[in-house]
Chains A and B, each alone.
Chain A
């Protein structure tokens, strides 16, 4: 229950910051995606189900805050959260390469998926702008933003640990 509250607060704060602050930060032609990075942090720590749920809620929050078509960002972030959760479970969330690999894959997926989805929905978007001009700086910025955001996720959502004291001695042959 406490975990769910922590995840909800993380998603809410990241979503509000993304909508009101980070989306307007035009650095080297791209913008950092704090919500996506926070979602990856949650999914890597807490697995696929939590990742998918956080992605759905985060996407919904962003669509509501920006008055965009509902469901589009939710769909993308749900899939990203689920994949990142499975990636963390299967590959080992503590491996050093897991977070950067997840960020690169997720950023590229969101760019490609977003472009495809908006194209299917009839929005006119320049592929060059969405997939090249904004993607590469965005990728770099996400990797930079990931350092504090993933650390925060690790601290807040650290797996519960318990000590097990051996109660008996068994000689191993």
Chain B
């Protein structure tokens, strides 16, 4: 049939169902209108990016975002509660697969820790006695000088580009900017944005995060940050080659103070365990990898630490 020839139905009464293109798609909308709409939307997105970045951490746009986030909270919590049984079921099956080897490993760990507890107890008593003799003054330490605000995680990183979560506790609960965030396992990150009822937490696995830390056994100091490899592996950077770090050592926050600067994290928060140590002739520092205690992939609830005492005045 020639292309321009009209096709008509030749049988009376036959019913032909055709898709009405008009409402179903934008095929009928003129190319000019379509391009105009996409241009407006792209410009609006670019304007939002510009204003969002120029505003810094506060401004009308951020206020509106905070209000929007607050309005979304009930829906996020509802979605989380609906999904919780499925997540639990998945976690149960996942845990079942490695349960036997995990139990064996934990049994060995209990034996080691039992011996360690006895040693620690005598060291603690000695420490208390010596501090009293010296009249030793210390900075804020974890968990003694901090109160914890327990908060559920209501939004997780939407893509691999972000390493931030949102928790359901904000300024109204005493959460402040830069407050450290932990779980029962160890350090998670710090608060980087606060609204009245929510706070954004930047995880330790973010490229911008770093925490001063030390090897609990040898005292070797360095900076914990995200490693160059994939996953949640961390590295203890800036450890001098003459320092001693061994595989299996525990790494905790150092909580240092120097000049006008002080670490955002208090002393003594567990971060992870050393999994590998290496050094080369060309590098200035040791290459220390750490397996974090906190499971960044399945954070459901966290503890935001709020200082009980104001930080001491720095000279």
With contact pairs A46-B24, A121-B53, A124-B208 given, residues A75 and B45 touching in the complex (Cβ less than 8 Å): yes
Contact assessment for B27 and A64 in the assembled complex, using a CB-CB cutoff below 8 Å: no
With contact pairs A67-B166, A70-B65 given, residues A166 and B16 touching in the complex (Cβ less than 8 Å): yes
By size class, the interface of chain A is 35 or more
With contact pairs A3-B23, A88-B25 given, residues A21 and B80 touching in the complex (Cβ less than 8 Å): yes
Choose one: A24, A61, A88, A165; the contact of B153 (CB below 8 Å): A24
Contact assessment for A67 and B164 in the assembled complex, using a CB-CB cutoff below 8 Å: yes
A65 to B164, CA, bound (A): 12
Choose one: A12, A19, A61, A128; the contact of B230 (CB below 8 Å): A128
Contact assessment for A64 and B68 in the assembled complex, using a CB-CB cutoff below 8 Å: yes
A128 to chain B, nearest CB (A): 6
A55 to B41, CA, bound (A): 9
Among the stretches B3-11, B121-129, B260-268, the one at the interface with A is B3-11
Nearest B residue to A35, CB-CB? B158
Contact assessment for B200 and A67 in the assembled complex, using a CB-CB cutoff below 8 Å: yes
Most buried by B among A24, A121, A130: A24
Contact assessment for B76 and A19 in the assembled complex, using a CB-CB cutoff below 8 Å: yes
B33 to chain A, nearest CB (A): 8
Chain A residues contacting B11 (CB-CB under 8 Å) are: 166, 169
Contact assessment for A125 and B153 in the assembled complex, using a CB-CB cutoff below 8 Å: no
A16 to B66, CA, bound (A): 16
Contact assessment for B158 and A68 in the assembled complex, using a CB-CB cutoff below 8 Å: yes
Kindly state whether residue B120 has any CB partner on chain A within 8 Å. no
Contact assessment for B164 and A68 in the assembled complex, using a CB-CB cutoff below 8 Å: yes
Most buried by B among A17, A21, A121, A124: A21
Q: Which B246-278 residues have C-beta < 8 A from chain A?
A: none
Contact assessment for A53 and B41 in the assembled complex, using a CB-CB cutoff below 8 Å: yes
Kindly state whether residue B38 has any CB partner on chain A within 8 Å. yes
Q: Which A113-139 residues have C-beta < 8 A from chain B?
A: 114-115, 118, 121, 123-126, 128-130, 132-135, 138
B134 to chain A, nearest CB (A): 43
Kindly state whether residue B15 has any CB partner on chain A within 8 Å. yes
Contact mask B148-160 → A, CB, 8 Å, 1/0? Answer: 0000011111111
Chain B residues contacting A50 (CB-CB under 8 Å) are: 25-26
Nearest A residue to B207, CB-CB? A124
Kindly state whether residue A62 has any CB partner on chain B within 8 Å. yes
Kindly state whether residue B130 has any CB partner on chain A within 8 Å. no
B29 to chain A, nearest CB (A): 6
Chain B residues contacting A168 (CB-CB under 8 Å) are: 12
Kindly state whether residue A160 has any CB partner on chain B within 8 Å. yes
Kindly state whether residue B117 has any CB partner on chain A within 8 Å. no
Contact assessment for A78 and B26 in the assembled complex, using a CB-CB cutoff below 8 Å: no
With contact pairs A68-B158, A82-B38 given, residues A21 and B10 touching in the complex (Cβ less than 8 Å): no
A10 to chain B, nearest CB (A): 14
Contact mask B17-60 → A, CB, 8 Å, 1/0? Answer: 11110011111010001100110011011111111110000000
Chain B residues contacting A163 (CB-CB under 8 Å) are: 15-17
B178 to chain A, nearest CB (A): 15
Kindly state whether residue B79 has any CB partner on chain A within 8 Å. yes
With contact pairs A21-B79, A72-B49, A133-B230 given, residues A66 and B166 touching in the complex (Cβ less than 8 Å): yes
Given contacts A31-B160, A64-B68, 16 further A-B contacts (CB under 8 A): A20-B156, A24-B297, A29-B231, A46-B26, A47-B26, A49-B37, A64-B72, A65-B68, A67-B65, A73-B158, A114-B159, A129-B230, A159-B19, A160-B24, A163-B17, A165-B16
10 residue pairs bridging A and B, Cβ less than 8 Å apart: A49-B29, A52-B38, A64-B65, A65-B68, A71-B52, A72-B49, A85-B26, A118-B161, A123-B161, A128-B230
Could you list which residues of chain A lie within 8 angstroms of chain B, going by C-beta atoms?
Answer: 3, 12, 16-21, 23-26, 29, 31, 33, 45-50, 52-53, 55-56, 59-75, 78-79, 82, 85, 88-89, 110-111, 114-115, 118, 121, 123-126, 128-130, 132-135, 138, 159-166, 168-172
